[in-house]
Amino acid sequence: MSGLYDLHTHTILSDGEMLPIELIRRMAVTGYTTVAITDHVDTSNTSDVLSTLFKVRESAKLFGVELLCGVEITHVPPQQITGLAKLAKEGGADIVVVHGETPVEPVAPGTNHAACHSRYVNVLAHPGLITVEDAMLAAETGVALELTSRGGHNRTNGHVARVAREAGCRLVVDSDAHAPHDILDERAKRIIARGAGLNEAECREILSLNVGEFLGA
């Protein structure tokens, strides 16, 4: 899977505004070939969200989009993150995102560390003022840190980019889209990356990510 990707989006299955297929259609028109729908989950709804998303795969394929059926583990106690991520993967999730310690929400301290430590987690979303130590752990486990366009969450993009560079861990650029106006075109994604302080070579590497290889597909 190569081409324009977004590994973090939301639909009416949690707090988004669009049906899954509407999101997919709008992403397809914008030029995306790989889209992960990662609605918010906790211990109460992980299986239900995934089972619903599985029904949309064929429709997405007809629009030329590889749909990654995923979840964003959100406001879950850090001690439960690995177990819930494992449950999601065993339930067929293509990708597991964890809602990181953004500076604009009361995320439990230790969430970043738990996510970076888990081999069942793929992306740590908007990780705020993540430490170098946790980023180095992410490099070891293969967890990618996210640069985001979402308001508030994006306040620490520059810090995340600097720490990722120092730790040698992977970065991804995502929209965290909840509504049609949140969808990023390729130029907007590049601006997010450059605005975080990445050079042109780093931008090219991140934006040309082979998602299949990253996820081990």
* CATH number of the domain to which 104 belongs: 3.20.20.140
pLDDT score recorded for residue 3: 84
pLDDT digits (tens, 9 = 90+) for 170-193: 999 999 999 999 999 999 999 999
Asked if the structure places residue 159 within a domain, the reply is yes
pLDDT digits (tens, 9 = 90+) for 85-122: 999 999 999 999 999 999 999 999 999 999 999 999 99
Q: What is the pLDDT of residues 123-168, one digit of tens each?
A: 999 999 999 999 999 999 999 999 999 999 999 999 999 999 999 9
Q: Is residue 186 part of a domain?
A: yes
The model's pTM: 0.97
**Residue 128: its pLDDT value, please?**
98
Asked if the structure places residue 153 within a domain, the reply is yes
Give 183's contacts (C-beta < 8 A, 6+ positions apart): 6, 26, 27, 30, 175, 177
Q: What local confidence, expressed as pLDDT, does residue 2 receive?
A: 62
Q: Is residue 53 part of a domain?
A: yes
The answer to whether residue 94 is domain-embedded is: yes
In a domain? residue 179: yes
Taking each continuous run of H as one helix and of E as one strand, the counts in the chain are: 10, 7
Give the confidence band of 217 by pLDDT, cuts at 50, 70, 90.
Answer: low
The per-residue pLDDT of the chain, averaged, comes to 97
pLDDT over 90, % of the chain:
98
Specify whether the CB–CB gap between 19 and 11 falls below 8 A.
yes
Q: Would 217 be classed as within a structural domain? A: no
Please report the pLDDT score of residue 179 as a whole number: 98
Count of domains forming the chain:
1
- pLDDT at residue 95, as a whole number: 98
Parent domain of 201: 4-212
Amino acid identity of residue 198, one-letter, is L
Q: Is a pLDDT exceeding 90 seen at residue 203?
A: yes
Q: Is the pLDDT of residue 211 over 60?
A: yes
The per-residue pLDDT for range 51-60, each reduced to its tens digit, is 999 999 999 9
Cβ–Cβ < 8 Å for 70, 26: no
Closest CA to 120 of 151, 102, 94: 94
